[in-house]
C-alpha cells in the first residue's frame, strides 16, 4: 500500500493526522508531512479512516494497480424489497 497525497488540494487541517498519526503529521510550518509513504498493512484501517476524513479528498491509497479513489462516504441504501399488503381471501 502506498499513500499518495495531492498537496495542491491539502489544506493542512490535520484531520488525517488525527486518524493516523503514524503516517501523517502537520508540523508547525503548517505543511503536511507523510511520515510513511508505504505504511504496513496494520495501519491500513487508520489510513483508510484518514482518507475518509479528509475534506479535500487529497489522500489516495495506491495498491499497485494505479491510484484508486476512495468510495463515496455516503452509505448506500439497501434496495428495500417492496412489501405489498395481501388481502386475505374470504
Ligand atoms: S486531512 Fe486532507 S486536507 Fe487535511 S491535512 Fe490531511 S490531507 Fe490535508
Mutation choice for ligand 1 from 11, 47, 70, CB with most ligand atoms inside 8 A: 11
Dig out the grid coordinates for 60 from the structure. 489516495
Please tell me the predicted confidence (pLDDT) of residue 43: 98
The whole-number pLDDT of residue 21 equals: 98
Q: What is the pLDDT of residue 71?
A: 58
70-80, pLDDT tens digit by residue?
555 555 556 66
**Can you give the chain as a three-state secondary structure string?**
CEEEECCCCCCCCCHHHHHCCCCEEECCCCCEEECCCCCCHHHHHHHHHHHHHCCCCCEEEECCCCEECCCCCCCCCCCCCCCCCCCCCC
Domain 2-68 has CATH 2.30.140.10: no
CA of 64 to the centre of ligand 1 (A): 22
For a ligand 1 pocket test, name from 17, 26, 27, 58 the mutation site with the most ligand atoms within 8 angstroms of its C-beta.
58
Ramachandran bin of 62, using left for φ above 0, alpha for ψ from -120 to 50, beta for the remaining angles? beta
Pocket lining for ligand 1, CB < 6 angstroms: 5, 10-16, 24, 26, 32, 53-54, 56, 58-59
Res 68 pLDDT > 70: no
Could you report the per-residue pLDDT of 22-32, keeping only the tens digit for each? 999 999 999 99
Is pTM beyond 0.85 here?
A: no
Amino acid at each position: 500500500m502506498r499513500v499518495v497525497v495531492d498537496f495542491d488540494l491539502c489544506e493542512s487541517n490535520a484531520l488525517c493526522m488525527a486518524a493516523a498519526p503514524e503516517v501523517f503529521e502537520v508540523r508547525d510550518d503548517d505543511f503536511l508531512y507523510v511520515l510513511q509513504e508505504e505504511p504496513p498493512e496494520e495501519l491500513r484501517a487508520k489510513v483508510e479512516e484518514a482518507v475518509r476524513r479528509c475534506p479535500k479528498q487529497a489522500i489516495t491509497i495506491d495498491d499497485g494497480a494505479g491510484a484508486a479513489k476512495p468510495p463515496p462516504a455516503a452509505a448506500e441504501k439497501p434496495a428495500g424489497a417492496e412489501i405489498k399488503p395481501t388481502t386475505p381471501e374470504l
